[in-house]
Amino acid sequence: MALDVVGDRWTLLIVRELLIRGACRYTDLRSGLPGIATNLLAERLRELEQEGLIVREEAPPPIATTLVRLTARGQALERVILELGRWGAPLLAEGTPGHQLLLHWLVLPLRLHLVDSRPDQGACTIAIRAGAEGIAGGDGIAGAAGILITANRGVVTVDSGRPEQADLVLTGDAATILTLLVGRISVAAARVAGVDFKGRTDLLSRVVPRSDRSSRQ
């Protein structure tokens, strides 16, 4: 019966997008779901609204648009989506040629995997931006939401957004950044692969994968 509600093509991906980005516009959703037909997105949103998983609301005064937001019932799907992600992680590691990977999609897996290796220290922030080919595509701008990671006294947060400033700013493509953050390649190797580092690269040993002591250096 759960699959009757969320088992249609795209439905869980739409929910994931809303989990990552919070309330967002129709156009944001479309840019985060490459390949979805616009009529299908409209139809799925209608279904999700009817099932009580999302609500539409007018944005606060300055902005003139309607936002789509998950209800508590919709948010409750996070556990399902995290389990699916955990199961699928080996597929991501294998890597798939024709498969594109948007940067902000890494938010949920990073929340699962990253921990603060220096719980005694205060706040620091790492920002990640999409690299060249992420912007090359015409709609790359809208889709390139970016990631903001903070660590503060043992608590790591990972969110999507357009990071303004940070102690460390990484710029590169999602796949490379991922292998770097989960500790499978070094900073040097990431540089070779086209990742640009601005700021305190030492922070990469502050925010590390769960149960991993490698300093990534």
Partner DNA sequence: CAGCATCCGCTTTGATACTG
Partner DNA sequence: CAGTATCAAAGCGGATGCTG
Q: Which residues bind a copy of itself (CB under 8 A)?
A: 1-5, 7, 9, 12-13, 76-77, 79-80, 83-88, 91-92, 96, 99
Question: Which residue matches tokens 């999700």?
Answer: 48
Question: Which listed range, 28-36, 106-114, 160-168, 203-211, lies at the site for DNA (CB under 7 A)?
Answer: 28-36
Q: Which is nearer to DNA, 40 or 189 (CB)?
A: 40
Distance CA 51, CA 134 (A): 34
Which two structure tokens, joined as six digits, stand for 194?
């086209």
Tell which residue, 109, 96, 100, has the closest CA to residue 16: 109
Which one of DNA, a copy of itself, none is in contact with 37 (Cβ closer than 5 to 8 A by kind)? DNA
From 42, 76, 112, 123, residue interacting with DNA (rule: CB under 7 A): 42
Tell which residue, 120, 130, 174, 125, has the closest CA to residue 148: 125
- Output phi, psi for 180, to 5 deg: -65, -50
116 and 151 Cβ atoms separated by less than 8 Å: yes
Indicate the residue type of 77: L
Rounded to the nearest whole angstrom, what is the least distance from the CB of residue 191 to DNA in the complex? 34
Does 135 participate in binding DNA (rule CB under 7 A)?
Answer: no
Rounded to the nearest whole angstrom, what is the least distance from the CB of residue 102 to DNA in the complex? 15
What is the number of residues in the chain? 217
Does 8 participate in binding DNA (rule CB under 7 A)?
Answer: yes
From 5, 23, 25, 186, residue interacting with DNA (rule: CB under 7 A): 25
From 52, 66, 121, 123, residue interacting with DNA (rule: CB under 7 A): 66
Residue 199 burial (CB count, 10 A): 16
Q: Which residues bind DNA (CB under 7 A)?
A: 8-10, 25-28, 35-40, 42-43, 45, 56, 65-66, 142
